Amino acid sequence: MLTEETKALILKNVCIYTETEIHSNGYVVVKEGKIDAIGLMDSFLEKEWENAHILDFPKGMNLIPGFIDIHIHGANNADAMDASQQALEIMAETLPKEGTTSFLATTMTQEVESIENALTSIAQYVETADQSGKAEIIGIHLEGPFISEKRVGAQPVQSVKKPNVELFKKWQTLSNNQIKLVTMAPEEDENFELVRYLKAENIVPSIGHSDAVYEQVLSSIQAGVNHVTHLFNGMRGLHHRDPGVAGAALLHSELMAEMIVDGVHIHPEIVKLAFLQKGADHIILITDSMRAKWLEDGISSLGGQKVIVRDGKALLENGALAGSTLKMKDAINNMMNFTGCSLQDVVKMASYNPAKQIGVLDKKGSIAKGKDADLVVLDENNQVALTICKGKIVYSNGGFSA
């Protein structure tokens, strides 16, 4: 007989977006944090599950895989660069409200000591913290300091460094091998040594905060670059006499492109242009959010720099965009509104693609038997009604509880 701890959780009478198809009226069985079965309601036998916790949903609800945010600095007055267990815990507890069930804690260009403190803190959290019942940190995105001084954006220029394999090796050791993705300017990388090293270690080399011309981007692709950090932002843009980093990203399917779809970082029509060119298979939705997310407008900070947040728009004192306050639940809705794409498309861009890109598709990123039960229920307006992290209900906005 099932004990209270091992009871199955069943979500039924819901439209399910599985890895391969859409079940317009189905059910999912969750056991011990994993997806145990998926089926159609026509074959559901209530008597077999009389000891289970059953959630029965009204018409119009959609069940999708949890979002995976591979580029997020902070939320709710916490930041990965705070180098504290409390900050990481706050982020992990906050993100399920927007449908995010796992994420890469993202660092930024700072002095070496600050970066190393953050890496050590994240490694300690992943190793020792109880990550059940909250969004899971599944690695680190190292954004900078190996970037171009010409394209720093909101990253402090005085802390920029040339790409350095030995320094990176030290950092990867400090992180307990948690660094999964590195944003860098490959044109600053002599003979693409760091790019080649990352590729050999199955770490994603991403071009970002880069002033590379088109030909340099092509050479970096040949060396192993296969990812673009926040497309159009912090990079040489598209020009009719030089396609730049942005043009290369649009033209080359080898490059998976992150996009901050908040209507601020990229004009909605440019979002649509990128989608028409790249398609759902080659875009990843990110937030690039900072500590001001989930807070009221006012004064905040990023990497020791003063940030003014007004109407949700975050700016440094010099007027540069300072990350975002975007929530993933809004990113998917903006994407659908700006481009006319489907919910199935945004599931690919917010869940499947990030999982595949950082090598965790075997356990996350889609609704399939045996994968972690990281699930989100959206209501008829595509707002988050319920978030489940590894089988535990951690957020409910519709009165649903087991």
Concatenate the DSSP letters of all residues of 139-183 into one string. Answer: EEEEE-SSS-GGG-TTS-GGG-----HHHHHHHHHHTTS-EEEEE
Q: Is the predicted pLDDT of residue 320 greater than 70, yes or no? A: yes
**Residue keyed to tokens 């947040």:** 309
Query: b/e for 297-320, b at 16 or more Cβ within 10 A?
Result: eeebbbbeeebbbeebbbbbeeee
Residues belonging to the binding site for Zn(2+) are: 143, 209, 230
The pLDDT of residue 401 = 61
- The model's confidence at residue 49, banded by pLDDT at 50, 70 and 90, is confident
From the centroid of its chain, how far is CA 344?
Answer: 17
- The model's pLDDT over 243-279, given as tens digits with 9 standing for 90+, comes to 999 999 999 999 999 999 999 999 999 999 999 999 9
Tokens of 127: 């190793």
Tokens of 273: 């242009």
Average pLDDT, integer, range 185-201: 98
The pLDDT of residue 46 = 78
- The model's pLDDT over 56-83, given as tens digits with 9 standing for 90+, comes to 999 999 999 999 999 999 999 999 999 9
Q: What share of the chain has pLDDT > 90, as a percent?
A: 86
Q: Say if residues 275 and 249 touch (Cβ distance below 8 Å).
A: no
Average pLDDT, integer, range 335-342: 98
- The DSSP secondary-structure symbol of 392 reads E
**What does pLDDT average to over the chain?**
94
CA angle 372/377/379 to nearest 5° reads: 170
- What's the sign of the alpha-carbon dihedral 332, 253, 258, 361? positive
Domains defined along the chain, listed by start: 9-64+366-396 (2.30.40.10), 67-358 (3.20.20.140)
The mean-pLDDT minimum among 135-139, 199-203, 296-300 falls in 296-300
The pLDDT of residue 6 = 58
What positions carry a catalytic annotation?
A: 288
Where are any strands of DSSP class E within 338-381?
A: 375-378
Where are any strands of DSSP class E within 175-231?
A: 179-184, 204-207, 227-228
Quote the CA–CA distance of 287 and 262 in Å, as a whole number. Answer: 8
Residues belonging to the binding site for substrate are: 154, 233-234, 241, 265, 321-323
H or E segment at 195? helix 193-200
Concatenate the DSSP letters of all residues of 63-125 into one string. Answer: EEEPEEEEEE-EETTEEGGG--HHHHHHHHHHGGGGTEEEEEEEE-S--HHHHHHHHHHHHHH
CA end-to-end span of the chain: 19
The mean-pLDDT minimum among 131-135, 194-198, 267-271, 309-313 falls in 309-313
